[in-house]
Chains A and B, each alone.
Chain A
Amino acid sequence: MYNQVVMDHFKNPRNVGVIEDPDGVGEVGNPLCGDMMTIYLKVDEDERISDIKFQTFGCGSAIAVSSMLTELAKGKTIEEARHITNKDVADALEGLPKNKMHCSNLGADALHMAIQNYKDKKTGVARKPEQRQEKHEHADGETCHCPYCDVEISSDAEFCEACQRKLTEEEH
C-alpha cells in the first residue's frame, strides 16, 4: 500500500515529541477523518527553524507526512519554510495513495499555522482558536479524488458521477 520511503518514515519517524516553551505551535485536525497533527517550532535570532517537533494521531501516511515535513523544514528560515507545500511533502515521500492525499497530507498546513503563531507572538497579535484554523486548500497540481471509488473529481464536486454518490467538500 505504502512505498518504502513512507514506510521508513512511519516506522522510524524523525522529530517526534513536544518542544517545551516553543516559539510557535500549529495544530490541524479533522475529527471526522481522524488525523490530527501538532507542530512545535523553535526559531533562532536569524529567523531560522532551529528545532521542530511533531505529535500526530493518524494513519501510516499521516505519521510519515509529519516526519518528512519536519525534515524539510528543519534549518530553513521562516520565509523559506513558509513556501513548503503539502505537495512538496508528498513528493519528498515519493508519493502517497490517492485517497490519502487530502486527509493525511496536512503537514504543511500545520507548519504554516505554527509560523503564523510565531509571527503573532512576535507582533503581539492574539487570535481566538477558531481564527487560527486554516482552511485546507488544494495546492497546485493536487487533485481531488472520490473517497469511495478513487476517480478524479473536481474540487467543488457535490456528486461523484462514477459511483453515483453524494459528497461533501471535506470528503474529497
Chain B
Amino acid sequence: MNYINLDNISFTPLLPEVKQVMTEAVNSDLHNPSSQHKAGEKSAEIISDARQAVAGLINAANPRETVFTSCGTESVNHAIKGAALANREKGNHIITTNIEHNSVLRSIKRFSSQGFKVTSLPVDASGRVDPKAVQDAITDQTILVSVMHSNNETGTIQPVEEIGRITRKNKVLFHSDAVDSVGVVPVDVEKLNVDLLSFGSNQYGGPPGAGGLYIRRGTRIFPLLDGGVQENNKRAGTENLICITGMAKAAELAAKHMKERLVRLGEIKDYLVGKLPGYIDEYIVNTNLEHSLPNLLNISLKYIEGESVMLMLDEDNMAVSTKSACATGSLRASHVLLSLGLSHADAQGTVVISWSIDNTLEDIDKFLASLSGVVKTLRSMSPLYNKPGT
C-alpha cells in the first residue's frame, strides 16, 4: 500500500541503521552492565559509548550529566518532581507556561496541593512566552522554572536561551522539555543555560522505550526511581540496553546529518506553507513560522472538525494527526490551541502535519490535492459554513 506518513510527530519510523544496531544487540550476548564479569563489563562499555553519543547531541560538557530514562515523559517527571522535592527547603514556587506538555503540567499539578505554589505564564498570539514575564514572576521562593523548547502541537520554539540567562542570573533551576527539539534542531545545553533538559529518542529515528535527562553537574535532584546505583545513582533499574543502543545510533546520525536534514525538512515546510493557499481557504496557521521546528505545521480548518479530516485522509492512505477534542480520550479542546486564543470551534478543526526526511515534495502535492477535496466535502455538510456569496 502506498501510504503517505505525515504524522511523524506521533511516531517517527526507526532509521535503518538504528534497526540494524538494535537487531545486533538482541542477537549478542548482553549481560547486566552492573555485573563485574567480562560479559557485564562489555555491556557497561556499550552504555558508556552510548552516553558519549547522546551527550554529544546536546553538547553536554561531561557525558555523566546525561541519564538514560525510559522516555521523554519519565525524564520530565524526574526533572520536575526530583528537583522540586530536593529543593523544597529553599522555596516552594514553580514557574511554567500554559502550553506545556501534559507530562509537565500534570507533574506540577500533583504538587500544587502539597504546599507548592505555581505560576503558569501565558503565551502571545504567536505562541511564545515573554522572557520578561519569567523575570517578573520570579520571587525569593522560586526554586524551578520549566519552559518547553518547542511545542509538541504547534512546533513553535520558545526563547529558551533568553529565559536561561534570566534563571542563571537569579540562581533558579531551569528545566526545558526539549522532547520534540533534540535531534531535530540544534540543542546546546551550554548555550541554553539549562540545568535540566528532557529528551526522547523516537523523535529522531530512535526507538520508543529510551529517553534522556540532562542533569547539570551540581544540580540538586532526587531520583524518581530508587533502588540500585545505576546511572550514577540518578536512575535505579537495569538499563534498557537494546533501546539505548538504538537511541545512541539515532543520536550519532542526528548530530552528523543535522545540517542537511534541516535543509531538507525546511524545504518541505516552505513548499507546504507556500502551496496551501492555492488549495484551501479560510484556515489559521497556528505554528509561529519564524520560530518553529522544520518538520511540523499546525493549521485550523474553519467550519470543520479535525477527526473527520483525519479519517477521510486516512481513506486516501494519508496519515496526519489532529488536536480536535473529538479525537482525544478526554474530549477536551487542546489547552495549547485555546492558549493561542483560538475559539473552541476553530480549535476543533486542527490538523497537525508532520514530515520526515523520507517524505518528498510529491507527497505534499498529493496531500494537498486530497486535503482540498476533504475540506470541500466536510464544509458542504457543515452548518457553520457560509458559502461565499451567500
Q: In the complex, which residues 292-351 of chain B have their Cβ closer than 8 Å to any Cβ of chain A?
A: 303-305, 307-308, 311-312, 315, 324-327, 329-333, 344-345, 348
Q: Which of A58, A100, A103, A104 has the most CB of B within 10 A?
A: A58
Among the listed A17, A31, A63, which residue makes an inter-chain contact with B344, where contact means beta carbons less than 8 Å apart? A31
| Complex: chain A residue closest to B326, CB-CB | A59
Q: Pick the interface stretch among A34-42, A76-84, A86-94, A127-135.
A: A34-42
Do the beta carbons of B383 and A34 come within 8 Å of each other?
Answer: no
Flag whether A13 is at the interface (Cβ < 8 A). yes
Q: How many residues of B contact A (CB 8 A)?
A: 25
Flag whether B381 is at the interface (Cβ < 8 A). yes
Flag whether A147 is at the interface (Cβ < 8 A). yes
Flag whether A5 is at the interface (Cβ < 8 A). no
Do the beta carbons of A31 and B331 come within 8 Å of each other?
Answer: no
- How far is the CB of B28 from the nearest CB of chain A, in Å? 40
Do the beta carbons of B308 and A58 come within 8 Å of each other?
Answer: yes
Among the listed B330, B348, B380, which residue makes an inter-chain contact with A34, where contact means beta carbons less than 8 Å apart? B348
Do the beta carbons of B325 and A33 come within 8 Å of each other?
Answer: yes
Flag whether B382 is at the interface (Cβ < 8 A). yes
Flag whether B361 is at the interface (Cβ < 8 A). no
Flag whether A27 is at the interface (Cβ < 8 A). yes
Flag whether A57 is at the interface (Cβ < 8 A). yes
Contact with B along A21-33 (1 / 0, CB 8 A): 0000001000111
- How far is the CB of B323 from the nearest CB of chain A, in Å? 12
Chain B residues within 8 Å of A31, by CB: 344-345
Chain B residues within 8 Å of A58, by CB: 305, 308, 326
Q: How far is the CA of A118 from the CA of B332 in the complex (A)?
A: 34
Q: How many residues of A contact B (CB 8 A)?
A: 33
Interface majority SS (helix, strand, loop, mixed), chain A = mixed
Do the beta carbons of A36 and B383 come within 8 Å of each other?
Answer: yes
Q: How far is the CA of A60 from the CA of B305 in the complex (A)?
A: 9
Q: How far is the CA of A62 from the CA of B383 in the complex (A)?
A: 13
Do the beta carbons of B307 and A59 come within 8 Å of each other?
Answer: yes
Q: How far is the CA of A171 from the CA of B328 in the complex (A)?
A: 13
Given A10-B308, A60-B308, A99-B329, A27 and B383 touching (CB < 8 A)?
A: yes
Q: How far is the CA of A27 from the CA of B344 in the complex (A)?
A: 18
Chain B residues within 8 Å of A104, by CB: 326
Given A10-B308, A34-B333, A148-B330, A59 and B324 touching (CB < 8 A)?
A: yes
Q: How far is the CA of A64 from the CA of B289 in the complex (A)?
A: 36
Q: How far is the CA of A81 from the CA of B381 in the complex (A)?
A: 23
A-B contact pairs, 8 of them (CB 8 A): A10-B308, A27-B383, A32-B333, A33-B325, A57-B345, A58-B305, A99-B329, A147-B332
- The residues of A with any CB-CB pair to B shorter than 8 Å are 2, 7, 10-11, 13, 16-17, 27, 31-38, 54-60, 62-63, 99-100, 103-104, 147-148, 150, 171
Q: Which 7 A-B pairs have the closest CB atoms?
A: A59-B326, A55-B383, A59-B307, A34-B348, A38-B383, A147-B331, A16-B381
- The residues of B with any CB-CB pair to A shorter than 8 Å are 303-305, 307-308, 311-312, 315, 324-327, 329-333, 344-345, 348, 380-384
